[in-house]
Chains A and B, each alone.
Chain A
């Protein structure tokens, strides 16, 4: 991997040697994908929406921070 970035590499790659299991899950919602942080007990919070549809970003249920139930 060759990184081409003006950011300091120490900053970008910091923690690369320690593996951390992420509690974020990718959930597919029709044509869009939600990144949801799993807070346990079937509840979560939307972290990010990945979609090409601009209208999806106006949906309050998809907004970052919205509550999500699995």
Chain B
């Protein structure tokens, strides 16, 4: 006799002792199980009268997760294990992309990716600290400052590490965190904002660029130990860069200038972040007087 797969499955189910059909006749009460006082036979349990169970905790999946491709094939959805780390990391790489998409030869960090991530991290109860990792060649002033302002205004402990490079607009992003690290070999270029795209007339343009520059300088001096005169001096120094005016600060130089707090790598940064998280949690535990 021919069965289609579905029919055979149903028949096998019917044969199993604890099968109750979902469609069709009402289930007969099973004599082996004690009657449930809260439900009368033939009635669905009322969710309102059921005792409240513990709220669902974050699902932790152990063992081998199903391959994404397999689960898409079978169920139409990927099975993503939801193991959330209490430290989440945000990476700023390549060019910081602003209101215009850059041509495809650029590796970019887009603000439409970073900004919602930061909102998510601020809101999440499981996330206790944020690690910001930078290897950037700068980019759009507006987008860079937007990211910096968001990181600076977060209530959770934040730590940044500059690896490789944190140039130009990477500077404000690096100092926007509560504590900042720079790798020994990493470099930061500080230089004036140059002109592109916007040509109104010489005096107006200079004034506009000057204002843009003041935004960057203002942010950096507010969020790090560096003084405004020192930062301006580094920005306009001649003879340090071959083709331009400005300065390259490598590792310890950035710390000495007061831009970055400490020289260190991933280990130190995570240790510092953990320490700040502990402090933050302890403060929250003290009752108000």
Whether A4 contacts B168 by the Cβ 8 Å rule is: yes
In the complex, which residues of chain A have a beta carbon less than 8 angstroms from the beta carbon of B239?
none
Bound complex: CA of A12 vs CA of B80, how far in Å? 37
CA distance A31 to B59 in the complex (A): 14
Asked whether B85 is an interface residue with its Cβ less than 8 Å from the other chain, the reply is yes
Encode A35-49 as 1/0 by CB contact (under 8 A) with B.
Answer: 000000000000000
Q: CB within 8 A of A6: which of B81, B84, B105, B189?
A: B189
Q: How many residues of B are in contact with the other chain, CB < 8 A?
A: 53
CB distance from A45 to the nearest CB of B (A): 12
Contact B99 A1 (CB under 8 A): yes
Which residues of B in the span 51-95 have a Cβ within 8 Å of any Cβ on A? 65, 67-69, 72-73, 78, 80-85, 87-90, 95
* Residue of A with least CB distance to B82: A30
Inter-subunit contact B103/A13 (CB<8 Å): yes
Tally of contacts, chain A with chain B, CB under 8 A: 115
Report the contact-size class of chain A (Cβ under 8 Å from the partner).
20 to 34
Interface membership of B16, Cβ < 8 A? no
Q: How far is the CA of A3 from the CA of B140 in the complex (A)?
A: 4
A60–B123 Cα distance when bound, in Å, is 28
* Bound Cα distance A7, B100 (Å): 17
User: A4–B80 contact, CB under 8 A?
Assistant: no
Is residue B102 within 8 Å, beta carbon to beta carbon, of the partner chain?
yes
- How far apart are the CA atoms of A50 and B102 in the complex, in Å? 18
Contact B194–A9 (Cβ < 8 Å): yes
Distance in Å: Cβ of B248 to nearest Cβ of chain A: 9
9 residue pairs A–B, Cβ–Cβ below 8 Å: A1-B98, A1-B99, A3-B139, A5-B95, A9-B194, A13-B102, A14-B103, A15-B104, A53-B88
* Interface of B toward A, CB cutoff 8 Å: 65, 67-69, 72-73, 78, 80-85, 87-90, 95, 98-100, 102-106, 113, 117, 120-121, 130, 137-142, 144, 167-169, 189, 191, 193-194, 196-198, 209, 212, 216, 244, 246
8 nearest A-B pairs in the assembled complex, by CB-CB distance = A5-B138, A52-B88, A15-B103, A61-B68, A30-B80, A4-B168, A4-B169, A6-B189
